[in-house]
Amino acid sequence: MEIGVYGGTFNPPHLGHVAAARAVFEVLKLDRLLLIPAGLPPHKNLPADGPTPEQRLEMTRLAADQLGLGDQVEVLDLEIHRRGKSFTADTLAVLKEQHPGDDFWLLMGTDMFLTLQAWHEPERILSLAGIAAFGRTEADTEELFSVQRDYLYRTYPQARLFTLTIPGVVDVSSTELRERLARGEGGALLPPAVYGYILRQGLYGTGADLKHLPLSRLRPVALSYLKYKRIPHVLGTEQEAIRLAERYGADVEKARVAALLHDCTKKLGMEEQLALCARYEISLDELERKALKLLHAKTGAAIARDVFGVDDEIYRAIWWHTTGHAGMTLLEKIMYLADYIEPTRDFPGVEELRRACYEDLDKGLLMGLEMTVREMEDMGNPVHRATLEARDALKG
């Protein structure tokens, strides 16, 4: 296997990192990519008021997820948890021991490549991994690379070197980016989920008031809660919620907030869900205690209220979005159906359901509820009481 190793402080991981990682991954036809946030980087001192190592680790995980490479990319915490300074040679030695039969490529930007001989144990590094250096700016020309490449080949004849310029990549310096974030700018230079995490945690002096976020900032924050593959669904739900709210005269802004936050706890496992239920004193019936899918609606509503200060109407729209219930409000119906028919949904009957929803909201709702009941029964799953009650109430 060909394995890429990309270390750095990732403070924060930005679109420059993402683009470089993706380009090297493709050009070198790597099988795996390991992102390794540094604990104590040997060459720079981290500012004391910056993110904790764990927060950098989490941001790197969010950035990795945005690569869209699935299981092929992994974020390792081995440098974060190692005591003392993080030396690349030591990290590579550990990896080589874990994967003796595999080939390693160490990813690095121009600055690092040009000073490689000054690193701790360069010879050992070059014996353990090939070097994949990438130029990120227009100024990083092949000329600059070739002088250093010749020097390294002469000095370390066993070296494997690969250099590439990544055209059109956004040129971002982390230092400048941090300054811009403190001024309330720079979000566009980050993967949206990373920016959302920064706002959520108040990193780099962003100090956003989570309870009064404008939609433009709530969106990345909401995305930072999601698995990458769920992002199109949530953005689709927002779109559909806008359309339905406009069609039926509901509060469009509230529909959008509910849609953006409705699946904010969806990626959590059973244990974490139950912990949130305990923390927010959410009582569960017997079915809910076993059905992960039912819990995220309740814990999502609780987070939306506690962290983002949503009002009761939005809270209830999120709370009931999975089961529905008898006597739903307009916003609850819109949330339930937007989630059901948003543009990325594809199942037999979805077109018919979409038509019904725009013809008559209650007709659409009844159809949606009946489809759910049928589907659950076909799969031999129990149907939640609230869903049956919602259906029966609409049938009159």
Among candidate residues 350, 275, 288, the one with its CA nearest the CA of residue 320: 288
- Residue closer to Fe ion, measured from CB, 78 or 376: 376
Taking CB under 5 A as the criterion, which residues in 185-244 touch Fe ion? Answer: none
- Residue closer to Fe ion, measured from CB, 152 or 221: 221
Cα 375 vs. chain centroid, distance in angstroms?
30
Backbone phi and psi for residue 100, each to the nearest 5 degrees, phi listed first? -60, -30
Q: How far is the CB of 67 from Fe ion (least distance, A)?
A: 23
Choose the stretch contacting Fe ion; rule: CB under 5 A; options: 189-197, 263-271, 307-315, 361-369: 263-271
- Residue closer to Fe ion, measured from CB, 202 or 349: 349
Selected binder of Fe ion within 263, 304, 332, 340 (CB under 5 A): 263
Choose the stretch contacting Fe ion; rule: CB under 5 A; options: 58-66, 115-123, 261-269, 357-365: 261-269
Q: How far is the CB of 300 from Fe ion (least distance, A)?
A: 7
How many residues sit close enough to Fe ion to count as binding (CB under 5 A)?
2
Backbone phi and psi for residue 8, each to the nearest 5 degrees, phi listed first? 165, 175
Rounded CA separation 365/363 (Å): 5
* CB neighbour burial string for 305-318, b if at least 16 within 10 angstroms, e if fewer: beebebeebbbbbb
- Residue closer to Fe ion, measured from CB, 147 or 292: 292
- Residue closer to Fe ion, measured from CB, 58 or 263: 263
Rounded CA separation 20/163 (Å): 12
- Beta strand ranges found along 51-177 (DSSP E): 73-75, 103-109, 130-135, 161-165
Among candidate residues 233, 234, 258, the one with its CA nearest the CA of residue 245: 258
- Residue closer to Fe ion, measured from CB, 185 or 272: 272
**Token duo for residue 135:** 């130029």
Q: How far is the CB of 348 from Fe ion (least distance, A)?
A: 19
Taking CB under 5 A as the criterion, which residues in 287-346 touch Fe ion? Answer: 339
Q: How far is the CB of 114 from Fe ion (least distance, A)?
A: 48
Site pattern 23..52 for Fe ion (x: CB under 5 A):
------------------------------
Rounded CA separation 112/108 (Å): 6
- Residues lying near Fe ion in the complex (CB under 5 A) are found at 263, 339
